Structure 1
Amino acid sequence: MAEEVKYDESSIRSLDWKEHIRLRPGMYIGKLGDGSAADDGIYVLVKEIIDNSIDEHTMGHGKAIEIKIMDHRVEVRDYGRGIPLGKLVDCVSKINTGGKYDSGAFQKSVGLNGVGTKAVNALSSYFKVQSFREGKTRWVEFRKGEITTESAEEATTQRNGTHMIFEPDNTIFKNYHYIPQFLENLIWNYCYLNAGLTINFNGQKFFSQNGLLDLLRNKTDEDAIRYPIIHLKGNDIEIALTHGNQYGEEYYSFVNGQYTTQGGTHLAAFRQSLVDTVREHFNKDYAVEDVRASIIAAVSVRVQEPVFESQTKTKLGSNNISPDSNSPTIRTFVNDFLKAKLDNFLHMNPSVREAMKKRIEQSERERKELAGIKKLANDRAKKANLHNKKLRDCRNHLPDVKSEDRYETTLFITEGDSASGSITKSRNVQTQAVFSLRGKPLNCFGMTKKVVYENEEFNLLQHALDIEDGLDNLRYNRIVIATDADVDGMHIRLLMLTFFLQFFPDLVRNGHVYILQTPLFRVRNPRNHKETIYCYSDDERLKAIKKLGGGKKVEITRFKGLGEISPDEFGRFIGENMRIEPVILDKEATIPKLLSYYMGKNTPDRQRFIIDNLRVEKDILEEEPVAEVA
């Protein structure tokens, strides 16, 4: 019989603010992560600090923000009003303390919970805040939320504003690193949402004059859109939209300058209002999927006291523009704006009107042409799913898990039975699934979506992910391409990326696709194997040889294929310290040009690149003749 656990007054414990944040960081910043995903906690920390500076700018104070991020240190300096010096400590170390509860000071702010800066403070091994205000300054330093040093008020000649420095605690954010592209995307979004604001990031200037119009211009290729971008602005709302030739829907949605990656009530309102407005304008009952097919749009709204579904503010839950019971709903607000502005625009621009109509009717024809083959393919996939030898599924899936474990749900796409076998035997069956390719997949560049249904492997993969009708039912948070580190493995990697970019680009845009990094070398002592070092690059190999004594004292194994790594060893590479690299689309890169360059015919640009970068290398191991090779 189990021993009864004592439960009395001594069992009750009260945590102070910093203890609670450090014990349950996920409640405040979402998942922790190592920086390989754009929504990992280290980026949320950066955002929480910048949000305060953006709110100052929004209220008309400060036209520039300076950001410096080097290694593990973040610095943000704004030129707003500066935190009142007497409340400097309270504003960064007392929960539910701040100026944003007074709607007169911050009417349409992102951060209203009084938590963000305190979370950064508690989760940092070093945190400093300094305020410059009306010719005086004061600073305070913290360690894990505890004050270590503070200054008295003193005179200063510096401009008003706030300077914050922090270093995320590496005992909480293990092996973390900032990826420059994620930071640049974050900063560009701030600029697009705050036209006229200048952000200086690590010596580079970021500035947008035209807001969301600039955003879509940078996200699209002029040759690939069907008509010039429609840009509509009103009080507390801004919309930019066009149609392209890609598959799926592409949205960028914002609330009070916050990038809501998971959308929310404002994006749902836009999607429905767009359909209603188009149907009414053309006086035709177009199917919803035909109106929205290939749409590219950015939507920004400003509301009072927004309600988000989590502290990380990635999805808006508010139904009204303001707390006033008589205020319009988000749905009504967006619909009334779009109905008036878009309808007027189309009447005044007949060429754009005609181009939109042609795009919608083309989508209608393509949908009807696919209807027959989709039914046959889906019936075939349902039968195959009962005994799908390609998929070794896991128990938990993204839509079903409510805890932080949902972020760990992973599908490994592997080549061949040997690699699949190693991963299958060493994976976590709760959250990790394996999909095995039988060889090199089809190069689907330039093909229509018909091939997804005609090709059995592609169709089974589509159903394994459950993405036929969009990402709402995506079954895994991470899709990890795991191939050998050789020419064939790289080719398979490119072919799979082509498949995703061609037919399901939102998977890549939303940060779900990764490349698995497996070690190239194993370096160990040949006598006792007590100390084994796995190396992911030649530099790491040389350091490992030196650490273990060099010469004939080390044994080096070169892993050429995933199947050569035993399941016991493989478990170390797909566990807590798994190294994965996100597939990131650069701001300047458009999908059609990207695919054409890498997967199209042998273009002059690609030939020139190969010639310019061609070099002959000896086998890496031959450079170290003193080392024994197993």
Structure 2
Amino acid sequence: MAKQTYDESSIQVLRKLEPIQLRPGMYTRTTDPTHMVVEAIDNAVDEAMAGHAKNIEVILYRDSSVAVTDDGRGIPVGMHLEEKVPTIQVVFQVIHSGGKFAKGEADSSYKFTGGLHGVGVSVTNALSTRLEVEVKREGKKHRIVFAEGEVIEPLTVIGNCGARNTGTTLRIWPNTKYFDSPLLHRGELEHLLRAKAVLLPGVKVQLNIETATGFDVKEWHFHGGITQYLDQMIAEDEPIAPTFCGEKYLFANETFSDDEGVQWALAWVTGSGGGESYVNLIPTLGGGTHEAGLRDVVFNSVRTFAEQHGLMQRNVKLAAEDVWSKLCFVLALRMIDPSFSGQTKEKLSSREAVKLVAATMKDPLDLWLNAHVAEATKIAEQAIKNAIARGKTAKTVERRKGSSVAVMPGKLTDSELTGPDAELFLVEGDSAGGSAKAGRDKETQAILPLRGKGMNSWEVEQSQILANQEIHNIAVSLAIDPHKLDGDVDMSALRYGKVIILSDADDDGSHIQALLLTLFFRHFPKMIQQGHVYIAQPPLFRIDVPAQGKNKPLRKLYALDQMELDIVEARLRQEGVKEDSWGISRFKGLGEMDAVQLWETTLCPDTRRLVRINMGDVAETVGTFDTLMGKSHAGERKELIATHGNEVEADI
């Protein structure tokens, strides 16, 4: 085996668009080119959202290219002061460039946009075999052409136009080598364009699809906005109350910037609920904190209405799902500085969104419910009916367990509900367990503190495994007996849908994770096979950012590791936050977090990070566990450490 050297020549610096081309999955969805085209559409939408464009057109050509046109201001074409090349070239070739980093400032080009990543159309350019850009601006038509991200036709003036005739046209040829499928997801694209029209009353959105005989044209132009859209969504269902719609934007608020707020349309139906949410017109297919805020507001308002009007029945306890399951909704959030989980922006992670939805929607919803008592009573009665049905289901499951129900461990702080929606956190140490108990959602989250590192159960006989008190407590809490992968076990008795290992972000914490994963793989394998076991990822750093005027109050950010901390600090510099004005704290362990911090970072379903454990190749996994955990494999372990020890990152 050739000797590997690690010296100055080993350090590689990626230039321009090379990071995107080397790791496209970090910047866009690689199943198909749809999202890279959406990045171009989002730029046109931002122009419309800022009030500068009234028409957006997308053309799908038979040669698999796509054109996106808007009648906005046109991308600036003058020389960039720092880069010394045309600004339009900077926009398409430099990652983290754009006109959106100064959002919220008085001279900002865009006040509300879909994010602050700054890699949007640079992704489109990097992953295209060819990209043609034409800009109408300041009475002239300009053109620049890229191939594989590089300029092949420099910026030139190709004609004249009227001074008021402005806009941008991109024609994109996606590079199929970066995608699993070369075909655009046409249904997703149509849905997206239609939604943009719904959320931008007065803006015409058009999709032209080239055929052998011409073009099929689809056009959307909604005057009724999201109310009209929701009515169409529920056209085949039967509403039990009229649609509740409205919008509210804040001014002179101590917490939020001017014009931040929410637009909404809600309808309760007899069938299944569901909805769509958007942030600055970006569709958030994965939901996120704004939907969590809506869920909280709706649940609390309906529950309060039911209690105040004497509708609650004895021994019936409403849960959020009882109210939420029959709700259809469209929610459009407007935020100056949204944060998303990943570049594809499918899930909002901004914690402030929960409070923003509450601040804008709670009072209007309370007033609407009390102004429509008959309809609100139907909504509350439907939720109560769901709660009663849920209670009967829970009792049925309890009866299946038989009469010999084990007494729950004394250390277990149980959740009010059990079943698929309930979660059990196996927490390292009593200190962290105390914070977790105080910060948890008592309705669905249970806490079981573990003492020490526990036992290596890899070579322990299954008949002897419950002799260990910690493992006995885990088994009793789950209501699942130890079993083999091919053995019989009553999985319907499982009391929690998720079992989440929560340990410190250090070597001891990793050791505890390994011991617990050994336990589940060896003695409770169907828990892993059916996707019930998770590892929580608590942050290592907290970043305290001072207030930046009225638009950006004091903020508290978190970073998972050093790499993410570097990204957060780079983002703060791009926002114009003064260097070294923010404070950085490193958590030595979970015990240092108070209840609020633990909830925000690790317990809250909308902001935490979980890794689901998969079974993988069983034979290969067994071999790995044998090497790592087997007492008779010390020699193999020593060889493994000698070979790969230099790859391990350890806290010393």
User: By the TM > 0.5 criterion, same fold?
Assistant: yes
Structure 1 residue corresponding to 2:346, chosen from 304, 314, 325: 314
1:121-140 paired onto structure 2 within 5 Å: 121-140=125-144
Q: SS of the counterpart of 2:112?
A: coil
Contact 1:195 1:207 in 2 (8 A): yes
Contact 2:237 2:271 in 1 (8 A): no
Is residue 232 of structure 2 the alignment partner of residue 232 of structure 1?
A: no
Structure 2 residue corresponding to 1:217, chosen from 223, 227, 231: 231
- Alpha-carbon deviation of 1:376? 5.3
The residue aligned with 1:60 is 51
CA spacing shift, 1:122–1:271, aligned 2, 3 Å:
same
Q: Match of 2:369, as an amino acid?
A: L
Q: Distance in 2 between matches of 1:304 and 1:244?
A: 33
Q: Match of 1:70, as an amino acid?
A: Y
Contact 1:62 1:78 in 2 (8 A): yes
Return the TM-score normalized by structure 2.
Answer: 0.55
Q: Distance in 1 between matches of 2:203 and 2:186?
A: 21
Contact 1:142 1:148 in 2 (8 A): yes
- Alpha-carbon deviation of 1:374? 3.5
1:502-541 paired onto structure 2 within 5 Å: none
- Alpha-carbon deviation of 1:333? 2.3
Is residue 267 of structure 2 the alignment partner of residue 267 of structure 1?
A: no
Q: Distance in 2 between matches of 1:175 and 1:253?
A: 27
CA spacing shift, 1:294–1:223, aligned 2, 3 Å:
closer
RMSD, matched Cα: 3.2
Return the TM-score normalized by structure 1.
Answer: 0.56
Contact 1:243 1:359 in 2 (8 A): no
1:454-603 paired onto structure 2 within 5 Å: 464=530
Q: SS of the counterpart of 2:177?
A: coil
Contact 2:302 2:380 in 1 (8 A): no
1:252-291 paired onto structure 2 within 5 Å: 252-283=276-307, 286-291=318-323
Structure 2 segments unaligned to the other structure (5+ residues): 79-86, 209-216, 250-260, 403-477, 490-497, 501-525, 534-652
CA spacing shift, 1:310–1:223, aligned 2, 3 Å:
closer
Contact 2:67 2:170 in 1 (8 A): yes
1:61-460 paired onto structure 2 within 5 Å: 61-71=52-62, 72-86=64-78, 87-103=87-103, 104-157=108-161, 159-202=165-208, 203-235=217-249, 236-247=261-272, 250-283=274-307, 286-320=318-352, 330-375=353-398
- Alpha-carbon deviation of 1:388? 6.1
Q: Distance in 2 between matches of 1:224 and 1:129?
A: 48
Q: Distance in 2 between matches of 1:390 and 1:68?
A: 57
Is residue 40 of structure 2 the alignment partner of residue 49 of structure 1?
A: yes
Q: Match of 1:272, as an amino acid?
A: D
Kindly provide the CA deviation profile for residues 261-316 of structure 1, in whole angstroms up to 9, marking residues without a partner as x.
12222111111121112222332563323222222222211111212121111122
The residue aligned with 2:640 is none
- Alpha-carbon deviation of 1:465? 6.7
Contact 1:264 1:317 in 2 (8 A): yes
Contact 2:92 2:122 in 1 (8 A): yes
Aligned length: 385
Contact 1:123 1:168 in 2 (8 A): yes
The residue aligned with 1:415 is none
Contact 2:115 2:337 in 1 (8 A): no
Contact 1:85 1:137 in 2 (8 A): no
Q: Distance in 2 between matches of 1:182 and 1:331?
A: 27
CA spacing shift, 1:385–1:354, aligned 2, 3 Å:
farther
CA spacing shift, 1:112–1:288, aligned 2, 3 Å:
closer
Structure 1 segments unaligned to the other structure (5+ residues): 36-41, 321-329, 392-397, 401-459, 468-630
Q: Distance in 2 between matches of 1:90 and 1:52?
A: 15
Contact 2:115 2:338 in 1 (8 A): no
Q: Distance in 2 between matches of 1:336 and 1:378?
A: 45
Q: SS of the counterpart of 1:171?
A: helix
